Amino acid sequence: MKVAKSVAAFRNWRKIRTGRVVLVPTMGALHHGHAALIRSARKLAGRGGSVAVSIFVNPTQFGPNEDFSAYPRPWYRDADVCRTSGADAIFVPSAGEIYSPEHSVVVEESTLSATLCGQSRPGHFRGVCTVVAKLFNIVQPTHAVFGEKDWQQLAIIRRMVRDLDFPVGIVGHPTVREPDGLAASSRNGYLSAAERAAAPMIYAGMRAGAEKKSSAAVVATVGRAFAGIPFARVDYVEAVDADSLAPLKSRRMPGRLLAAVFIGGTRLIDNIPLPPRT
């Protein structure tokens, strides 16, 4: 497995690849959810293709009071996850390798990023779009795999690819969950034992809301469920159109239920589909 720390080293590896090259962009602290993405990429690449995993804790997508400096960076464990899950290369650049000291160009999506996590975390998706666009230019993947756990991010990346004509197929992978339903996340490790015991109530509350026949009833039901979660502070709960992220007007069209909840000091996100109902 190739480990490249510079753009030049990665491009030297990339230029001799044939077949599909599938990218799995990550910020490291890899867990079994990331392993599932890499295995999905391996299957998509096929025997003649290659899988590249990027590990880069991107400073431009963290706000001033967020956990950039504390974000875990367990390199040896991450490398082992990549190796055992089928990656052919890891691109692990420094911030200085990605951003020049005087960098002044950004990529910003202006519609889908205005609500939900974009409203709670100003500038976050500008950082995401900028670094993903740079990774696409460096890696030149034929496809890229993103987890559906961050549905808004996935929708924004799809929009960026469409609007900027990146020749990259975007593949969403279903959210990987723990046995008790909690969405797999590196941030789950920040939870205390009591907080971790309460966190699965997020998914349970969302599932209860999804049974309702109107968008308003969905949101109201989830809100009541979340009010009973110990240590919880709700950031948002929204029923939206699955593609445009606009408020879902009717359960007769496919939607998505998205939520962000602080459990103690840890912000967790989750989403589930809202299939059409008559």
Active site residues: 34
Element (H, E) at 25: strand 21-26
Separation CA 273–CA 267 (nearest Å): 21
What distances in angstroms separate CA 98 from CA 90, 113, 135, one per listed residue?
15, 23, 9
Give Rg (Cα) of the chain: 19
Instruction: Reduce the secondary structure of 63-86 to three states and give it as a string.
Output: CCCCCCCCCCCCHHHHHHHHHHHC
Q: Which amino acid is at 119?
A: Q
DSSP state, residue 106: -
> Could you tell me the two tokens for 193?
């034992």
